Amino acid sequence: MKDNDRYWDCLDHAMEASSGGRTEEALAWLDEALKAHPGGAEAHNGRGEILWDEGKVDPALYEFELAAMADPKFATAHLNRAELLIEELGEYEQALQHLDDLLAGRTDLPRPDRGTEAEIHYLKSKALFYLDDLEGALFLVRRASKTSGDVAVYRAFEGQILFELGRFAEARRFLEQAVILDSDSAHAHYHLGLVLERLDEDEVAQAAFASANARDPEHYPLPTPMDEAAFRRAASDAIANIPRSIRELVEHVPVLVREFPDTELIEQENVSPQILGLFSGVPRTEAAVTAQARDVDRVFLFKRNLEKVCRTHAELVEQIQITVKHEIGHYLGLDEDDLERLGLA
């Protein structure tokens, strides 16, 4: 038996409670809504969004799936499910297939309006970004913007992709536009800071980092600076702490400290501008079958990047140790699974 008036009244109360940060009350109202209408797609979707905010990923996914089953034409549930698959579970191919199904005009799925179509392109862009297809991601986020017009989150993501491609001046334009469109976006302020830093506008970059931190200190901590002498001592200590049997194998491999990876290194090694460290050269396991000289082997540590991922001096010292061991592991021919197993990832 369905009581429509009671159902929508409960949804209104749930939305009001959720907007006020009273999540338990919101969930209670959504439960009441489902008593009035057990197949209520909106109520299941609302429960999913709250559970996701609370970090309860699997229950949230279940609620989004219930919502989509209750009303297969309810686009929001499909988009939420796809985004959760991308952001939380790393199920990129599954999400891409589902998003393509939404675009294909299947009669059992919702027909996307322009806003929904733009969001689908954006979510597909994010999936390709995580799959390291940056050019594909850039193409799709630009389709999202072309479909919807200027949306802050799309412009910010476009700037982020351009930053990862090493196209810093171009990235700046889109990130500045994103900040204008949404001055409260910590993500846009932070990535604008990253870009300005690489364009040698350090004072403005630090102000952008401070703006991101003020809006979202949990996700965007301020950098933890360390003077270069102390940083180099920490790097030397990291080498000294490697077991002697391994240290003897890597004694010819210098550890070089740089502020950032330069554009040439980003392009040659196909790495992120935010990479913490890098082994460049020939892994020891391949040295016997190559004529390349051993003096090209080296480990880079990128000081400014390391400072940005650590909240305290002690954490930074520990991260330097981890990064040195990780890159030495690459020299020894260990893959990412080996490094993870040995605690060097």
Among the candidates 93, 114, 145, a domain finishes at 145
Confidence (pLDDT) at 281: 80
Question: Of 244, 326, 332, nearest to 287 (Cα)?
Answer: 332
Indicate the number of domains in the chain. Answer: 3
Confidence (pLDDT) at 263: 86
In this structure, are 214 and 293 located in the same domain? Answer: no
- Residue 293 inside a domain? The answer is yes
- Residue 18 inside a domain? The answer is no
pLDDT digit string (tens) for 278-293?
A: 988 878 776 554 445 4
In this structure, are 235 and 334 located in the same domain? Answer: yes
Mean pLDDT check: name the lowest of 1-10, 15-24, 310-319: 1-10
- Residue 4 inside a domain? The answer is no
- Residue 45 inside a domain? The answer is yes
Residue type at 197 in one-letter notation: E
pLDDT digit string (tens) for 303-318?
A: 999 999 999 999 999 9
240 and 323 Cβ atoms separated by less than 8 Å: no
DSSP string, 5-54: HHHHHHHHHHHHHHHTT-HHHHHHHHHHHHHH-TT-HHHHHHHHHHHHHT
Confidence (pLDDT) at 249: 81
- Residue 1 inside a domain? The answer is no
In this structure, are 240 and 300 located in the same domain? Answer: yes
Confidence of residue 270 (pLDDT cuts 50, 70, 90): confident
CATH of the domain at 91: 1.25.40.10
The answer for residues whose C-beta is within 8 angstroms of residue 231's C-beta and 6 or more apart is 257, 301, 303, 320
Q: Where are the alpha helices (DSSP H) in the chain?
A: 4-19, 23-36, 41-53, 57-70, 75-87, 92-103, 114-130, 134-148, 152-164, 168-181, 186-198, 202-215, 228-240, 244-247, 263-269, 303-308, 313-331, 336-341
**What number is the average pLDDT over the span 13-22?**
95
pTM of the shown model = 0.89
The proportion of the chain whose per-residue pLDDT surpasses 70, expressed as a percent, equals 94
Confidence (pLDDT) at 342: 57
In this structure, are 158 and 246 located in the same domain? Answer: no
pLDDT digit string (tens) for 32-49?
A: 999 999 999 999 999 999
In this structure, are 46 and 127 located in the same domain? Answer: yes
pLDDT digit string (tens) for 223-261?
A: 999 999 999 999 999 988 888 877 788 888 889 999 999
CATH of the domain at 252: 3.30.2010.20
Residue, of 211 and 264, whose pLDDT is higher: 211
**pLDDT at residue 344 above 70?**
no
Confidence (pLDDT) at 62: 98
Confidence (pLDDT) at 251: 81
- Residue 19 inside a domain? The answer is no
Among the candidates 145, 175, 206, a domain finishes at 145
In this structure, are 127 and 197 located in the same domain? Answer: no
- Residue 29 inside a domain? The answer is no
**What number is the average pLDDT over the span 191-196?**
98
In this structure, are 129 and 155 located in the same domain? Answer: no
Please give the helix or strand (H or E) that residue 251 lies within, else none. Answer: none
In this structure, are 312 and 272 located in the same domain? Answer: yes
In this structure, are 173 and 136 located in the same domain? Answer: no
Among the candidates 145, 176, 195, a domain finishes at 145
pLDDT digit string (tens) for 122-134?
A: 999 999 999 999 9
In this structure, are 213 and 240 located in the same domain? Answer: no
Residue 327's domain spans which residues? 228-341
Confidence (pLDDT) at 293: 46
- Residue 27 inside a domain? The answer is no
Confidence of residue 269 (pLDDT cuts 50, 70, 90): confident
In this structure, are 46 and 130 located in the same domain? Answer: yes
In this structure, are 305 and 237 located in the same domain? Answer: yes
Residue, of 3 and 155, whose pLDDT is higher: 155
pLDDT digit string (tens) for 83-113?
A: 999 999 999 999 999 999 999 988 999 999 9
